[in-house]
Amino acid sequence: MKITFLGTGTSQGVPIIGCDCKVCTSTDKRDNRLRVSVWIETPEASIVIDSGPDFRYQMLRANVRKLDAIVFTHGHKDHVAGLDDVRAYNFHDERPMEIYANEHTQEVLKREFEYVFNNKSYPGIPQLNLHTIDGDTPFSINGLTITPIRVLHYKLEVLGFRIGDFTYITDANYIAPAELEKAKGSKAFVLTALRHEQHISHYTLQEAIAIAKEVGAKNNYFTHISHQMGLHAEVEKTLPEGMHLAYDGLSLYL
């Protein structure tokens, strides 16, 4: 399995428009963060988790030529806004894109992309096949088994995913003990860590470190990082062994 971080930033990305802080003006490419997403490649399948506003550029930058499915964590704009650009895959592969999401996220997609679902005969619109994720039941894409993990993003239920030895959880500030159990035994664990200060709907860096220690994976990576976290190079030096800030373009091999 190969995992590529397509984006590791918050809803505004980094740099933020109009900001001249030391992170937003950094020349270290690791401080430039598109909206959060990952690409997972296995012999069975090529999937992307979330299609935010930067989806088109992320696909071009990572040279994602084959994409079997998009799996959604939740329906916030920074995770769904780029869905229209699956049209390119529709054209080249001559098939609809397989979309996996829970019922609430599907409602968001139908509202945000009303023209897709209410005008199916109109030429050139995205072609999608919707599949419903039950948060308690594993599902399969081309034989690749994916286990949902229910987490809370303030009051909104968000889905994390366990895929083999890899677990990915973004946009969360609470994980029930029974759900966290699903992540244990992972070789690589990814979790949201927004900044150092408390936030209403995201783990802080210290909270994420504590969760990662509980999971016990050998390799841990933090994502959905804001410019308030500080410079990548400086923060990285402070992290415990086996823990890292993820960055755009980082690839893991399991």
Q: Which domain holds residue 134?
A: 2-248
> Please, are residues 103 and 134 in contact by the beta-carbon 8 Å criterion?
no
pLDDT digits (tens, 9 = 90+) for 189-237: 999 999 999 999 999 999 999 999 999 999 999 999 999 999 999 999 9
Q: What pLDDT was estimated at residue 121?
A: 73
Phi, psi torsion values for 85, nearest 5 degrees = -75, 0
Q: How many domains does the chain have?
A: 1
In a domain, 206, yes or no: yes
Q: 116 is written with which tokens? A: 């897709």
In a domain, 253, yes or no: no
**Contacts of 61 by beta carbon, 8 Å cutoff, 6+ apart:** 6, 249
- Considering the chain, what percentage of its residues have pLDDT values greater than 70? 100
Q: pLDDT tier at 26 (50, 70, 90 boundaries)? A: very high
In a domain, 199, yes or no: yes
pLDDT (average), residues 141-145: 97
pLDDT (average), residues 72-90: 98
Q: What pLDDT was estimated at residue 84?
A: 97
Distance CA 125, CA 240 (A): 47
In a domain, 254, yes or no: no
pTM score over 0.95 = yes
Beta pairing partners, 39: 4, 48
In a domain, 116, yes or no: yes
Q: What pLDDT was estimated at residue 196?
A: 98
In a domain, 164, yes or no: yes
User: Taking 80 as the threshold, does the pLDDT of residue 185 lie above it?
Assistant: yes
Distance CA 190, CA 127 (A): 31
In a domain, 242, yes or no: yes
Residue 14 maps to which CATH number? 3.60.15.10
**Contacts of 68 by beta carbon, 8 Å cutoff, 6+ apart:** 45, 46, 47, 98, 141, 142
pLDDT (average), residues 40-49: 97
Q: pLDDT tier at 125 (50, 70, 90 boundaries)? A: very high
Distance CA 152, CA 159 (A): 8
**DSSP secondary structure letter of residue 120:** T
Q: 57 is written with which tokens? A: 């550029």
Q: pLDDT tier at 115 (50, 70, 90 boundaries)? A: very high
User: Taking 90 as the threshold, does the pLDDT of residue 119 lie above it?
Assistant: no
Residue at token pair 């220690």: 213
Q: What pLDDT was estimated at residue 122?
A: 81
In a domain, 97, yes or no: yes
Distance CA 40, CA 163 (A): 9
Strand order in the sheet with 139-141: 139-141, 144-153, 156-163, 166-169, 188-192, 219-223, 243-245
**90-97 — which CB contacts under 8 Å span 24+ positions?**
90/126, 90/127, 93/66, 95/127, 96/127, 96/128, 96/129, 97/67, 97/69, 97/70, 97/126, 97/127, 97/128, 97/129
